[in-house]
Amino acid sequence: MCEQAKGVLLRLRQEHPFELVETDVDLDPEHRRRYGPQVPVVLVDGRPVAQLRVEEEQLRRCLTGGPAPQGADGVEAG
């Protein structure tokens, strides 16, 4: 995960506590096939909510009941 994306996620985690799981997509052929060209990819509760570019306001909306499923408590980034 790039430093910009990680910085956004760490800032948001201070506002809205969530578990952050980093996954190296290159270590899993399925992840590489699915997400490789779109890294970084941020998933909230298993659903992609950001690809290529991680926008802080977009993710904030997802974590506060916006486009991502309600009750998002886990964020995975690769």
- Determine the structural domain holding residue 11 and report its residue range: 3-77
pLDDT tens string for the chain (78 positions)?
788 889 999 999 999 898 888 889 889 999 899 888 888 888 888 888 888 888 899 888 888 876 543 333 455 555
User: Which pLDDT score, from 0 to 100, does residue 69 have?
Assistant: 39
- What residue ranges in 23-69 does DSSP mark as E strands? 41-44, 47-51
- Bridge partners, 71 (sequence order): none
Q: Are 74 and 45 in contact (CB under 8 A)?
A: yes
pLDDT at 70: 37
Dist. CA 49–CA 55, nearest whole Å: 10
SS3 47: strand
Tokens of 73: 């408590």
What's the predicted TM-score (pTM) here? 0.70
What is the domain count for the chain? 1
